[in-house]
Structure 1
Amino acid sequence: MSDLTHLAAPEGVAPGSGYSHVVLGTGTFVAVSGQCAFDQEGRIVGVGDPAAQARQVFENLRRCLAAAGATFDDVVKLTYYVTDVAHLPVVRAARDAVLDTARPPASSAVQVAALFRPELLVEIEAFAVIPAGTA
């Protein structure tokens, strides 16, 4: 597990709901490009189903993190791009299935007009820090 510090509510800042305002640590920085709901053959999973797309996105993130020697415990920041903010509850449910909700990463959520394919509803990027000596 990462040696990260999570600050849910720095002095003078209202606590966030389901995210930390600040996460810091020392180690190897890992940036994972925005992941969409593609399976390993490049087919879209869950056309029209934001929950199925979110689950696939988090599975893709898990695989990308593993390729770098990281896990979701090492994630310090997630950025969510959704075509409709109404999808956020199912995206959060998919997130909560893989992340330690007691130590959530920093995060941002942005509603966008569209992603690069019209069938895509969710894209998520991740930043992680692997503790020094474990990368």
Structure 2
Amino acid sequence: MTQNEIIQALSSATSIAKSKITNTAVLNEAYDYAKPSSFSRGLRLEFGNVVVLLISGTASIDESGRTVHVGDFRAQLARTYHNITGLLAAEGATWKDIVKTTCYLRDIERDYEAFNEERTRFFQEQGLDPLPASVGIQAILCRSDLLVEIEAMAVFLKAA
């Protein structure tokens, strides 16, 4: 989708449809946590025939809400990508629709080199060109055993 196509589609939109994104086959819903949390895994916004997916911070959580791969940064990052891939697929999207990621690392000094290696490999496997805009931030994450969390934004045209 070109920038002009997005602008044209957005300018013709008369309303914004909003729905939640979910895929319990890859990770559970936040309200199912032992300590429930009040957020959606993501939102699907429709501006006419343009779809925007806003994917909440996603980490190495399994379908039962447990942290997986505790202490293994690369494995946690792989599971995070797996979870985001599942959320995208649930909405008919792929990584090629991702336009922006925000990446939170518990210890950016220790883990950034591994993060960049794995991200580069993963994005090459996905055939991404151009690459999404991105930012990396050191942060205290919501669980002490999480080492990485990623939020993402995708934009694509609704299937006809």
Q: TM-score range by the shorter chain?
A: 0.7 to 0.9
Q: What's the secondary structure of 1:134's corresponding residue? A: coil
In the alignment, is the contact (CA less than 8 A) between 2:95 and 2:128 conserved in 1?
Answer: no
In the alignment, is the contact (CA less than 8 A) between 1:75 and 1:128 conserved in 2?
Answer: yes
Q: Which residue of 2 aligns with 1:129?
A: 155
How far apart, CA to CA, are the structure 2 residues paired with 1:92 and 1:41?
Answer: 28
Q: Which residue of 1 aligns with 2:114?
A: 90
Deviation per residue, 1:44-93 (Å, 9 max, x gap): 12111111110000000000111111100000000000111131232233
Superposition RMSD in Å: 2.0
Higher relative contact order (CA 8 A, sep 6+): 1
Q: What is the percentage of aligned positions where both structures have the same residue? A: 36
For structure 1, the 5+ residue unaligned runs are 6-23
How many residue pairs are counted as aligned between the two chains?
113
How far apart, CA to CA, are the structure 2 residues paired with 1:61 and 1:89?
Answer: 21
1:134 maps to a residue whose letter is: A
Structure 1 runs, 4 residues or longer, greater than 6 Å off? none
How far apart, CA to CA, are the structure 2 residues paired with 1:4 and 1:83?
Answer: 35
1:25 positional shift: 6.6
In the alignment, is the contact (CA less than 8 A) between 1:58 and 1:94 conserved in 2?
Answer: no
TM-score of the aligned structures, taking structure 2 as reference length? 0.64
Deviation per residue, 1:11-63 (Å, 9 max, x gap): xxxxxxxxxxxxx9722111111101011122212111111110000000000
Q: Where is the helix percentage greater, Structure 1 or Structure 2?
A: 2
TM-score of the aligned structures, taking structure 1 as reference length? 0.74
Q: 1:4 to 1:79 in 2, by over 3 A?
A: farther
For structure 2, the 5+ residue unaligned runs are 7-49
